[in-house]
Amino acid sequence: MSLSRWGRRALFSTVGGAAALGLGVSAASAHHCYIPMYTLNAPASPNWLTFTAAGAAEEFGIFTPECDAQVDAGYAALRAAGLPVAIKIFEHGVIGGQSKNPNRSNGVGLEDFEQGSTLADEMLGTWVGAAAATSCG
């Protein structure tokens, strides 16, 4: 199953908003920024909510892999395209709200759904496309 670009953006925005509401942060200051991760081996932190491409696709009912070959194909496609394999959202508040970082929403640094970043969309779409196209022979 494939979501449109806007469907994926709404999905990830909803994820951030739900995380914010679940933690008592007002909807007006929902977690609209995220940091792309290019490795699945990054250190874990209780302050960050991490969504791997495979985990997000499965958790939100977009695609559930049937075998390891599908998972591997999805991540291979992300690496080949130079895309992140996961994103992380700060759980205790909004990051980057007033940031003047020149790398904001350009695929290099802090990404922002509201600033038009499509990096999370591309990550999810690429992973799902490659995983779904791979048979479990």
What does the alpha-carbon distance between residue 99 and residue 80 come to, in Å, rounded to a whole number?
30
Residue 137 inside a domain? The answer is no
pLDDT at residue 6 is higher than 70: no
pLDDT of residue 83: 95
Residue 16 inside a domain? The answer is yes
Residue 120 inside a domain? The answer is yes
Residue 70 inside a domain? The answer is yes
Nearest to 124 by CA among 70, 38, 65, 51: 51
Structural domain count, the chain: 1
State whether residue 108 is helix, strand or coil: coil
Query: How many C-alpha atoms does 74 have within 13 Å on its Cβ side?
Result: 29
Domain that holds residue 24: 5-132
pLDDT digits (tens, 9 = 90+) for 11-69: 444 444 433 333 333 332 345 678 889 999 987 788 888 899 999 999 889 999 999 99
Residue 124 inside a domain? The answer is yes
Residue 63 inside a domain? The answer is yes
pLDDT digits (tens, 9 = 90+) for 73-107: 999 999 999 999 999 887 766 665 566 666 666 66
Residue 34 inside a domain? The answer is yes
Query: What is the mean pLDDT of the segment spanning 100-125?
Result: 73
Give kind and range of the element (H or E) at residue 1: none
pLDDT at residue 2 is higher than 80: no
pLDDT at residue 5 is higher than 60: no
Give the highest mean pLDDT range of 81-90, 109-118, 124-133: 124-133
pLDDT of residue 96: 56
pLDDT of residue 97: 57
